Amino acid sequence: MKLGKVVGNIVSTIKTPSHQNKKLMVVIPVDASRKEIGEPMIAFDRFHAGIGDYVLIIEEGGSARDILGDEKGAFDAVIAGIIDQLP
């Protein structure tokens, strides 16, 4: 699991069937002091995160399928939760 900051959203008019009706966000991995530590990635969002939110990201297909409720979809990164407060 990684910590990340949502920096944008993705709009796609054409998606594979498993990606229909799923929200995509651009997330940059950060460390505990909120410093960017990686390249931006695209993550599926089921928790209604918004730009500027700090989130937990899982980069594992099986967990992503569980969170998104789709046993057969091809998913990589998913937002697993929104962080209310960082120390």
Cα separation, 68 vs 63, in Å, equals: 9
State the pLDDT at residue 18: 74
What is the DSSP secondary structure assignment for residue 62, as one 8-state letter?
H
Query: Is 18 a domain residue?
Result: yes
Q: Considering the entire predicted model, what is its pTM?
A: 0.85
Query: Is 11 a domain residue?
Result: yes
Query: Is 80 a domain residue?
Result: no
Residues of the chain falling short of pLDDT 50: none
Domain tally for the chain? 1
Task: Name the residue with tokens 């054409």.
Answer: 14
Which residue range forms the structural domain that includes residue 6?
Answer: 1-32
Q: Regarding beta strands 23-29 and 77-82, do their DSSP bridges make them parallel or antiparallel, or are they unpaired?
A: unpaired
Query: Is 7 a domain residue?
Result: yes
Query: Is 45 a domain residue?
Result: no
